[in-house]
Amino acid sequence: MLKKSSFIILAVLLISNIFTWIVVYNLNQPQSLKVVFFDVGQGDSFLIKTHLGHYILIDGGQDKAVLEKLSKEIPFHHKEIDLMILTHGHADHLNGLMEVLDHYQVNAILWNGVGLENNLVNQWQRKIENKNVKIAQSGQRIKAEDFHLDVLYPFEPLKENKDLNLTSIVLRLVYKDKKFLFTGDIYQSVEKELVDKKNFCLDKEEEIKCRGMELESNVLKVAHHGSKTSTEKFFIEEVNPQIAVISAGLNNRFNHPHPETLETLLNYGIRVERTDLEGDIKIVVK
């Protein structure tokens, strides 16, 4: 009985020591922001991590593969995500988020509020009905001590659209002097709207709907998995990225990314990173 009690005490002390070292390790990390573009096959899923311990998850891919990815980036004792963002209601962005909701405490959810009447969207709406949910609209800013995240699109509350790609939320992350642009699955038509709105807002900075309405970014998450429906030259010229990240599945049936898109990026001298060829892509800003 004495041996058993001693073993329990030693085990408790060992666990306490582990948590102490975890805390010390985190406190001594340099100030940095990390963006991980997960390889979740044919889909999108991205995690933003800050040195202050904020976790923002943008989309979740098409299945529970995102759970394994998160387990490698979020400490096992921390089952909390500060903000979950669904750019639009297609399965290759949404399915994984529903898995995450079953395994993590999610403090806030941002989405466009638009979905087709089907079992998937109905299930999503049931899962989030008692959560802290916000509907995305241009001019909103998610701000923390060390970064901010601006919603650039949609400009107005959206109604149901038969093509959900056109309802994708567009976000711009700003940390120190580095910017990341997340474009969901938008098409060229939305790219044009963004450029037009940015030009209109040059003299309208006092208006809330023009807040953060800038496009130039160091890193561009290429829209629609590199499809030829997006990434037009006029848009690339406005964003002027150094790095373009394409999230697509290896040998996917859509043949993403399209050679035309790759050629456009190459012609502008942009470094292209692809999850289908490289796996998870991690970018750290110090």
Check residue 204 and give its pLDDT: 66
pLDDT tens digits, one per residue of 216-250: 999 999 999 999 999 999 999 999 999 999 999 99
Query: Domain containing 258 — which CATH number?
Result: 3.60.15.10
Question: Where in the sequence is the domain holding 88, given as residue range(s)?
Answer: 30-285
Contacts of 158 (CB under 8 A, 6+ apart): 112, 113, 114, 167
> Each residue of 125-157: b (16+ CB within 10 Å) or e?
eeebeeeeebebbbebebeeeebebbbbbbbee
Provide, rounded to the nearest whole percent, the portion of the chain with pLDDT above 70: 86
Check residue 162 and give its pLDDT: 77
Check residue 205 and give its pLDDT: 59
Q: What is the Cα–Cα distance from 263 to 179, expressed in whole angstroms?
A: 23
Domain membership flag for residue 25: no
Minimal CA–CA distance to 117: which of 165, 82, 162?
162
Residue 272's Cβ-count burial label (10 Å; 0-12, 13-18, 19+) is middle
Angle between helices 91-103 and 65-73 (to 10 degrees): 60
Check residue 16 and give its pLDDT: 40
Domain membership flag for residue 213: yes
pLDDT tens digits, one per residue of 193-220: 999 999 988 776 556 678 888 999 999 9
Q: How many domains in the chain?
A: 1
Which stretches within 104-146 are classed as H helix? 119-128
Q: Is the pLDDT of residue 157 over 80?
A: yes
Q: Is the pLDDT of residue 27 over 50?
A: no
Domain membership flag for residue 22: no
Domain membership flag for residue 175: yes
Domain membership flag for residue 217: yes
Q: How far is CA 165 from the centre of its chain?
A: 16
| Mean of pLDDT over the chain | 88
Domain membership flag for residue 3: no
- For 41, the 3-state DSSP assignment is coil
Helix (H) or strand (E) holding 33: strand 33-37
- Beta strand 271-274 pairing with 80-81: unpaired
Q: How confident is the model at residue 15 (pLDDT cuts 50, 70, 90)?
A: very low
Q: How confident is the model at residue 13 (pLDDT cuts 50, 70, 90)?
A: very low
Contacts of 240 (CB under 8 A, 6+ apart): 216, 217
DSSP 8-class letter at 63: S
Domain membership flag for residue 99: yes
Q: Is the pLDDT of residue 9 over 70?
A: no
pLDDT tens digits, one per residue of 54-104: 999 999 999 999 999 999 999 988 899 999 999 999 999 999 999 999 999
pLDDT tens digits, one per residue of 33-67: 999 999 999 999 999 999 888 999 999 999 999 99
From residue 286, alpha-carbon distances to 26, 50, 174 in Å are: 15, 10, 13
pTM, to two decimals: 0.88
Q: Is the pLDDT of residue 109 over 80?
A: yes
Domain membership flag for residue 115: yes
Taking residues 171-193, report their average pLDDT. 97
Check residue 5 and give its pLDDT: 47
